[in-house]
């Protein structure tokens, strides 16, 4: 995740390695924390759309894979939203907003379609 937060200086992070289980840097714990902040929301939406129970996560840099972990959808929902129920509300609300946006776009383009 280090490169993702500082793209302009990516060269400085090419040698980044995960070398311990716990800790604030170079650890699985830190990578998992970054996933909660940045990746899990996207994964949750994808898994709900695809009716998936979880996802295999790869811990890696640009050159090497350090490990894999299967994370259940329920665990992701608890970490990001606090509960499955709140996750379901957010998912439904997001789909409703998307539907309204797409309806607006289609309606706006309708005169051009004929």
Handedness of CA 85, 89, 94, 99 (dihedral sign): positive
**How many whole angstroms separate alpha carbon 63 and alpha carbon 83?**
36
Q: What are 13-72's pLDDT values in tens digits?
A: 777 777 777 877 778 888 888 888 888 999 999 999 999 999 999 888 777 788 899 999
Q: What are 71-107's pLDDT values in tens digits?
A: 999 999 999 999 999 999 999 999 999 999 999 999 8
Number of domains in the chain: 1
**Closest alpha carbon to 63 in 6, 7, 10, 8:** 10
In terms of residue numbers, what domain contains 32?
A: 2-113
* Confidence (pTM): 0.74
């Amino acid at each position: 995740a280090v490169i993702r937060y500082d793209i302009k200086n990516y060269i400085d992070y090419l040698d980044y390695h995960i070398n311990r289980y716990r800790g604030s840097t170079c650890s699985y714990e830190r990578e998992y924390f970054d996933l909660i902040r940045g990746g899990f929301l996207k994964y949750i939406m994808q898994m709900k759309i695809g009716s998936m129970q979880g996802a295999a996560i790869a811990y890696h840099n640009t050159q090497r894979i350090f490990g894999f972990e299967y994370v259940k959808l329920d665990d992701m929902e608890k970490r990001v939203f606090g509960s499955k129920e709140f996750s379901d509300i957010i998912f439904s609300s997001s789909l409703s907003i998307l539907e309204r946006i797409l309806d607006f776009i289609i309606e706006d383009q309708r005169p051009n379609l004929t």
